[in-house]
Amino acid sequence: MVAVVVTGCAVTQQKALEPLDWIDKDVERYSVTGTGSWARIRKQPLTVGPFTGDVAAQSVWSSLPVTTSSDVQISVGSDDAKGHRLESGTVAKDNESELQFRLLGPSGALADLRCRQHRYIEDQKTGLTRGDGTNGFSVSEQVAYSSTFNCKARGADKQWPQWQLDLGGGEAAPMQGYLIIDGVKYEVAGSQSSNIGRSPYTVSYEISRGGKPLVQVDRSGDGLVSLMMPVGDKQHVAFVGAAAALLLANDPLEP
- 61-86 residue pLDDT tens: 766 557 777 766 665 555 555 667 77
Q: What is the dihedral of CA 131, 137, 138, 139, to 10 degrees?
A: -150
Rounded CA-CA distance 25/230 in Å is 10
Average pLDDT over the chain reads: 87
Residue 9 pLDDT: 46
Higher pLDDT, 7 or 57: 57
At residue 8, does pLDDT exceed 90? no
Percent of the chain with pLDDT over 70: 86
Nearest to 177 by CA among 96, 81, 94, 249: 249
Residue 14 pLDDT: 92
Contacts for 121-125: CB closer than 8 Å, 24+ residues apart: 121/92, 121/93, 121/145, 121/172, 122/90, 122/91, 122/92, 122/93, 123/90, 123/91, 123/92, 124/88, 124/89, 124/90, 125/87, 125/88, 125/89, 125/90, 125/91
- Ranges of beta strands (E only) in the chain are 4-7, 10-13, 27-33, 46-48, 51-58, 67-76, 84-105, 108-130, 137-155, 163-169, 176-181, 184-191, 204-209, 212-218, 224-228
Task: Name the pLDDT band for 146 (thresholds 50, 70, 90).
Answer: very high
CA separation, residue 142 to residues 5, 73, 168, 218 (Å): 31, 20, 18, 29
Tens of pLDDT, residue by residue over 13-40, are 899 999 999 998 999 999 999 987 777 7
Higher pLDDT, 89 or 176: 176
2-11, 29-38, 105-114: segment of lowest average pLDDT: 2-11
Tens of pLDDT, residue by residue over 160-206, are 888 999 999 999 999 999 999 999 999 999 999 999 999 999 999 99
Tens of pLDDT, residue by residue over 215-225, are 999 999 989 99
Please tell me the number of Cα atoms within 13 Å of 119 on its side-chain side: 24
First to last CA, the chain: 12
Nearest to 179 by CA among 93, 239, 222, 106: 239
Query: What DSSP designation does 1 have?
Result: -
Residue 72 pLDDT: 65
At residue 116, does pLDDT exceed 90? yes
Higher pLDDT, 159 or 118: 118
Domain range list for the chain:
10-60+100-120+147-248
